[in-house]
Amino acid sequence: MPSAGMRGLGNPLELPALTTPASTAGTRVTLRAFIAADVGLIQSASRDPLIPLITSVPATSGRTEALAFMERQHQRLKSGSGWSFAVADAASNVAVGQIGLWPGQSSRRTSNPDTIGYWIGPDHRRQGYAGAALALLTEWALTEADMRRIHLYIEPWNEGSWRTAERAGYRRDALLPSWQKVGSQWKDMYRYIRTPL
Ligand SMILES: CC(C)(COP(=O)(O)OP(=O)(O)OC[C@H]1O[C@@H](n2cnc3c(N)ncnc32)[C@H](O)[C@@H]1OP(=O)(O)O)[C@@H](O)C(=O)NCCC(=O)NCCS
């Protein structure tokens, strides 16, 4: 069942390819579906100490598990759970990470927010990829996907992630105690919010 955010796009079945405008200074990315050539990136993410704890990237780095992970990302749109993109360098199309837009569910009583999550492979960090990907997907969510407010949840120690958020125009509005389980432990989270400018 598509969520409210996805209904705004008429239950799409194909992932769009989004690219940073050519006029943008600095790092430019393309957000696209995962392809078989990206398997090495997933395997390297499996070896990262944090990524398998906070995502569905497998904790073992076998090729079969990596291919299964990519297949699960292809199913996200069809099942209505959200948009899962590979982050690729706009010039080379080499995959460097992953970013997902996850629509919340609203009812008369509750409203779960629309959220974005992201990671960049260990070999590709500190080159502006996360900031470029988050800025691009946020603009698309707020303009094309009918979303009014995007939330990010970030552990306070994770300066790389909250700097990424701030670079993409998000503002911190809360520290949420014991908000999310990471591995076996409940962790405090900063909440970051972006609304249309
Ligand atoms: C956090 C992460 C996504 C950053 O990706 P990245 O591509 O290296 O980030 P960028 O190069 O776009 O940098 C964005 C900003 O963060 C800063 N930054 C990046 N890594 C940093 C670090 N380890 N420490 C301090 N600042 C850092 C950059 O200097 C830049 O700051 P600026 O806007 O002031 O110039 C990446 O380290 C990662 O995937 N980590 C593991 C998974 C994770 O933490 N995901 C987010 C969960 S909320």
pLDDT digits (tens, 9 = 90+) for 7-26: 455 555 689 999 999 999 99
pLDDT of residue 91 exceeding 60: yes
pLDDT of residue 1: 44
Whole-prediction pTM = 0.94
Q: Does the pLDDT of residue 79 top 70, yes or no? A: yes
pLDDT at 12: 56
Model confidence band, residue 6 (pLDDT cutoffs 50, 70, 90): low
Rounded to the nearest integer, the mean pLDDT of the chain is 92
Q: Which residues line ligand 1 (CB under 6 A)?
A: 50-51, 54, 118-120, 125-131, 154, 158-161, 163-164, 167
What average pLDDT does the segment 163-183 reach? 96
Residue with CA closest to ligand 1 atom 14? 164
The maximal CA–CA distance of the chain, rounded, in angstroms, is 47
Of 9 and 162, the structure prediction assigns the larger pLDDT to 162
- Gap from CA of 84 to ligand 1 centroid (Å): 19
| Closest ligand 1 atom, residue 152 Cα | 48
Q: What is the pLDDT of residue 2?
A: 46
Q: How far apart are CA 85 and CA 67, in angstroms?
A: 15
Residue 146: per-residue pLDDT: 83
CA distance 137 to 16: 11
* 113-135 confidence digits (pLDDT tens): 999 999 999 999 999 999 999 99
State pLDDT tens for residues 27-70: 999 999 999 999 999 999 999 999 999 999 999 999 999 999 99
